[in-house]
């Protein structure tokens, strides 16, 4: 008897059957643009072997003007079709199914040639779109239909027509972006003409036995977004037009409400999809912040949808479904929704990967093979770098001993998990614990590894991490000043007024920790109130009339840095704005360009700029120092003076800009090479 009967039940689509209720949602990985089709095929084939029922590719442009950026991949030629056939063949050989997403970006296309319903520029793009005329609209429809027909030729099992997230088809649906007065604008019947026409003509072109998914924006989260009645009307017309399945889209890209970040509660939007159940007779898929089989099971058991879409969880673990089926759900590497190696990479023009699984999108290049020469390997430090090195080396057959002074594994991850909105880190540390327990790694906690004790190992990996940097501020040794470590480890409790020195990732986390009593990530109603989200049946677009209503901050916090630049500039590309907005909602004062003059019983004395002007005191009961890190390399240096050549990784290697992504990647790659 499985623990996931709903998730593992097949779904009969009439002309074909999906083997379970799990869809791998569309992600732009950048793989197609590498033109290494073996690599693309291996990425999808690994997920097909892992048991997912149906996958959707990253968005393929139907034409040049609709590409998300100039040069975006699409099926433009016979050669493109042949290349995509390599992918679909490999997926079918692995008993998988795959649909190609057709993504016309409209005004979100990063190009001066972008087109839309009306010439309304997007706040997240520098390019105003050109308003399409009747012929222009016909051309876009024809190109989308051609793209679907080519996908069929390339061996895909279906297509997903991207109608949500504020892209082209979505832009016709709402008056926010559609100001037209012809038959494509005005009344809702007119505004929905384009998506309905697209689906109808795609169905005509591909025949009845081809999956057509329509991704429908169920809550726009923008002003003048759709009402719930409009969503239902559209869904019914999309069904009539011939769609096989309706998938859920949540929020436009320009919405100022987080929809997939780690601080969004799990399954935060499944209630929206549930409202559509029963309104149409084709299957409905739900999505967003669903990352574990128990969450999938509860969503389906609660009748929120017929199927669940997860995207990033398949970067973290291609074997998600197989592990759940085999009773090994605890071994699923959890997607912590950090965006650090996936979306942040996409938006920086880099290939996607995954913080917890550096092999994602690197399947053909980062290969973990059995070791030919089995070695004894000591790994010192059970933080993310050491854990990934130890597990990978052990997987390859090496004899690994993992040392840590602490009584728990996890290193800095144990601090991150204390931060409200970062609760997913608990699962990541649990996963490492499970994987260690199931491995042959000899784990020695509360054990200080000395240079003498390490002498007999064939290889020594030093992953001793970082120490807080000494900020050297006069008075910092007083009783009112603490380091972020002492605070997050619960060794001290801050007073009512707090000054936080340093506004890097940790300064922001500490500020969040200080102002938040109960994490809204753990309480969906509170989170919706905080960000101003409501039922789209109550208000257009699902934006609450009262706007964001945050909890009263638990403390009065001032966050400071010496640089005169905007605070939080270096935070994640897709998540920095959320951290800044969250602290602004809780009245955290942000001060840049200061000198730290001294600390005394009154608080933190600062002045401005090189001329040390405007001396003043930031009154504070507690001052928390988050001034960055330096490498902990004492052991590495002791070994080197004895003529040893340890491998130094993670923060012990380079402290600046250290994050778990780099640590895990470095640990895995080193161990794969030994
Ligand atoms: P950080 O990002 O390097 O920030 C250090 C902060 O301390 C800066 O604001 C810096 O600003 C200040 N600082 C540097 N030297 C100082 C000195 N001598 N005296 C006073 N202030 C000083 O380091 P972190 O915040 O400790 O974070 C460490 C790493 O963890 C980062 O690389 C970050 O990526 C990662 N992390 C990431 C996240 C995330 O959300 N992705 C969260 C937590 C941590 P000024 O020099 O302008 O004063
Ligand atoms: Fe999930 Fe982070 Fe990996 Fe992206 S990088 S897939 S958000 S764990």
Torsion angle of C-alpha atoms 64, 65, 71, 72, degrees rounded to 10:
-90
φ, ψ of residue 402 to 5 degrees: the values are -110, 120
Q: Provide the 10 A C-beta neighbour count for residue 159.
A: 28
The residue whose CA is least distant from atom 1 of ligand 2 is: 335
Q: Ligand 1 center to residue 570 CA distance, Å?
A: 9
Separation between Cα atoms, residue 276 and residue 296, nearest integer Å: 18
Mean pLDDT of 47-61: 98
296 burial via Cβ count (<10 Å: 0-12, 13-18, 19+): buried
Separation between Cα atoms, residue 186 and residue 182, nearest integer Å: 7
- CB under 6 Å to ligand 2: residues? 312, 315-316, 335-342, 354-356
Torsion angle of C-alpha atoms 271, 277, 279, 284, degrees rounded to 10:
110
Ligand 2 closest atom vs CA 357: 3
Pairing of strands 589-591, 54-60: unpaired
Q: Ligand 1 center to residue 503 CA distance, Å?
A: 6
Q: What is the pLDDT of residues 80-133, one digit of tens each?
A: 999 999 999 999 999 999 999 999 999 999 999 999 999 999 999 999 999 999
Mean pLDDT of 206-230: 98
Mean pLDDT of 333-356: 95
- Any atom of ligand 1 within 6 Å of the Cβ of 506: yes
State the pLDDT at residue 658: 64
Q: What is the pLDDT of residues 377-413, one digit of tens each?
A: 999 999 999 999 999 999 999 999 999 999 999 999 9
Q: What is the pLDDT of residues 643-656, one digit of tens each?
A: 999 999 999 999 87
Q: How far apart are the first and last CA of the chain?
A: 41
Beta strands in 426-518 (DSSP E): 442-444, 459-462, 466-468, 481-483, 497-501
Q: Provide the 10 A C-beta neighbour count for residue 418.
A: 17
The residue whose CA is least distant from atom 1 of ligand 1 is: 504
Reported confidence tier of residue 441, pLDDT bands at 50, 70, 90:
very high
The residue whose CA is least distant from atom 2 of ligand 2 is: 338
Q: What is the pLDDT of residues 260-283, one digit of tens each?
A: 999 999 999 999 999 999 999 999
Q: Which ligand is nearest to the CA of 659?
A: 1
**Residues acting as catalytic residues:** 167
Ligand 2 closest atom vs CA 262: 7
The residue whose CA is least distant from atom 5 of ligand 1 is: 628
State the pLDDT at residue 131: 98
Reduce the DSSP state of residue 202 to 3 states and report it. Answer: helix
DSSP 8-state class, residue 450: P
The residue whose CA is least distant from atom 6 of ligand 2 is: 312
Q: Ligand 2 center to residue 337 CA distance, Å?
A: 5
What is the full DSSP assignment across 317-360? -TTHHHHHHTT-GGGSPPP----TTTHHHHTTT-----SS-TTT
Separation between Cα atoms, residue 667 and residue 557, nearest integer Å: 37
Q: What is the pLDDT of residues 518-562, one digit of tens each?
A: 999 999 999 999 999 999 999 999 999 999 999 999 999 999 999
How many helical (H) and strand (E) elements, i.e. helices and strands, does the chain have? 22, 27
What is the full DSSP assignment across 567-626? TTTTS-TTTHHHHHHHHHHTT-EEE-SEEEEEEETTEEEEEETTTTEEEEEEE-SEEEE-
State the pLDDT at residue 655: 87
| Orientation of helix 424-437 relative to helix 384-395, angle to 10° | 30
Q: Which ligand is nearest to the CA of 468?
A: 1
Reported confidence tier of residue 197, pLDDT bands at 50, 70, 90:
very high
Q: Provide the 10 A C-beta neighbour count for residue 213.
A: 27
Q: Ligand 2 center to residue 391 CA distance, Å?
A: 19
State the pLDDT at residue 659: 84
Is the pLDDT at 288 greater than 80? The verdict is yes
Reduce the DSSP state of residue 455 to 3 states and report it. Answer: coil
- Any atom of ligand 1 within 6 Å of the Cβ of 216: no
CB 414 within 8 A of CB 484: no
User: What's the whole-number average pLDDT of the chain?
Assistant: 97
C-alpha distances in angstroms, 76 versus 29, 143, 202, 444? Answer: 19, 10, 17, 57
| Residue of 337, 504, 656 best suited for mutating to test ligand 1, as the one with most atoms within 8 Å of CB | 504
Q: What percent of the chain has pLDDT over 90?
A: 97
CB 511 within 8 A of CB 556: no
CB 354 within 8 A of CB 311: no
The model carries a pTM of: 0.96
C-alpha distances in angstroms, 19 versus 97, 307, 312, 321? Answer: 10, 11, 20, 11
Residue 568: closest CA among 552, 553, 555, 584:
584
Secondary structure in 3-state letters for 204-262: HHHCCCCEEEEEEEEECCCCCCCCHHHHHHHHHHHHHHCCCEEEEEECCCCCCCCCCCC
Separation between Cα atoms, residue 450 and residue 289, nearest integer Å: 43
State the pLDDT at residue 546: 96
The residue whose CA is least distant from atom 30 of ligand 1 is: 659
CB 269 within 8 A of CB 299: no
Q: What is the pLDDT of residues 23-44, one digit of tens each?
A: 999 999 999 989 999 999 999 9
């Amino acid at each position: 008897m499985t623990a996931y009967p709903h998730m593992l039940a097949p779904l009969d689509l009439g002309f074909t059957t999906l083997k379970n209720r799990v869809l791998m949602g569309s992600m732009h990985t950048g793989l197609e643009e590498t033109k290494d089709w073996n690599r693309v095929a291996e990425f999808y084939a690994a997920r097909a072997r892992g048991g997912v029922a149906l996958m959707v590719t990253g968005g393929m442009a139907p034409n040049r003007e609709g590409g998300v950026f100039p040069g975006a991949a699409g099926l433009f030629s016979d050669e493109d079709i042949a290349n995509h056939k390599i992918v679909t063949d490999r997926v079918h050989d692995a008993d998988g199914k795959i649909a190609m997403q057709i993504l016309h970006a409209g005004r979100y296309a990063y190009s001066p040639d972008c087109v839309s319903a009306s010439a309304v520029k997007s706040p997240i793009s520098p390019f105003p779109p050109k308003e399409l005329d009747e012929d222009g609209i016909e051309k876009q429809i024809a190109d989308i239909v051609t793209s679907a027909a080519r996908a069929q030729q390339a061996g895909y099992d279906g297509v997903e027509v991207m109608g949500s997230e504020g892209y082209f088809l979505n832009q016709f649906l709402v008056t926010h972006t559609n100001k037209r007065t012809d038959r494509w604008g005005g009344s809702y019947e007119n505004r929905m003409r384009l998506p309905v026409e697209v689906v109808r003509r795609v169905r005509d072109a591909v025949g009845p036995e081809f999956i057509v998914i329509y991704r429908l924006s169920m809550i726009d989260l923008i002003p003048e977004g759709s009402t719930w009645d409009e969503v239902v009307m559209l869904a019914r017309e999309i069904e009539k037009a011939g769609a096989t399945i309706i998938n859920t889209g949540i929020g436009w890209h320009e919405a100022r409400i987080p929809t997939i970040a780690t601080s969004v509660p799990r399954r935060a939007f499944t209630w929206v999809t549930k409202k559509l159940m029963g309104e149409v007779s084709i299957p409905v898929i739900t999505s967003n912040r669903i990352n574990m089989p128990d969450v999938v099971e509860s969503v389906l058991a609660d009748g929120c949808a017929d199927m669940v879409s997860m995207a990033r969880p398949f970067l973290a673990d291609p074997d998600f479904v197989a592990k759940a089926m085999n009773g090994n759900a605890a071994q699923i590497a959890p997607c912590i929704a950090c965006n650090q190696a996936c979306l942040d990479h996409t938006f920086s023009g880099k290939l996607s990967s995954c913080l917890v699984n550096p092999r994602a999108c690197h399947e053909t290049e980062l290969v973990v093979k059995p070791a030919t020469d089995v070695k004894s390997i000591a790994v010192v430090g059970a933080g993310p770098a050491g854990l990934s090195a130890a597990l990978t080396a052990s997987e390859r057959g090496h004899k690994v001993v993992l040392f840590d002074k602490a009584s728990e594994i996890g290193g800095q991850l144990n601090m991150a998990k204390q931060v409200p909105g970062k609760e997913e880190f608990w699962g990541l540390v649990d996963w490492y614990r499970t994987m260690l327990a199931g491995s042959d790694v000899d784990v020695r906690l509360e054990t200080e590894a000395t240079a003498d004790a390490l002498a007999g190992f064939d290889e020594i990996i030093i992953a001793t991490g970082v120490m807080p940097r000494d900020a050297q501020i006069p008075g910092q040794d007083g009783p009112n000043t603490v380091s972020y470590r002492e605070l997050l480890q619960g060794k001290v409790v801050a007073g009512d007024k707090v000054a936080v020195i340093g506004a890097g990732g940790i300064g922001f986390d500490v500020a969040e920790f200080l102002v938040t009593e109960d994490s809204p990530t753990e309480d969906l109603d509170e989170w919706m109130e905080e960000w101003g989200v409501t039922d789209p049946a109550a208000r257009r677009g699902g934006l609450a009339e009262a706007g964001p209503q945050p909890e009263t901050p638990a403390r009065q916090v001032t966050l400071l840095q010496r640089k005169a630049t905007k605070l939080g500039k270096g935070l994640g590309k897709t998540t920095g704005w959320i951290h800044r907005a969250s602290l602004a909602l809780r009245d955290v004062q942000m001060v840049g360009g200061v000198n730290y003059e001294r600390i005394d019983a009154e608080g933190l004395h600062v002045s401005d700029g090189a001329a040390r002007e405007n001396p003043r005191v930031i009154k504070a009961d507690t001052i928390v120092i988050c001034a960055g890190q330096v490498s902990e390399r004492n052991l590495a240096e002791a070994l080197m003076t004895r003529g040893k050549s340890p491998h130094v990784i993670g923060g012990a290697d380079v402290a600046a800009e250290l994050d778990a992504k780099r640590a895990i990647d470095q640990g895995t790659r080193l161990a794969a090479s030994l």
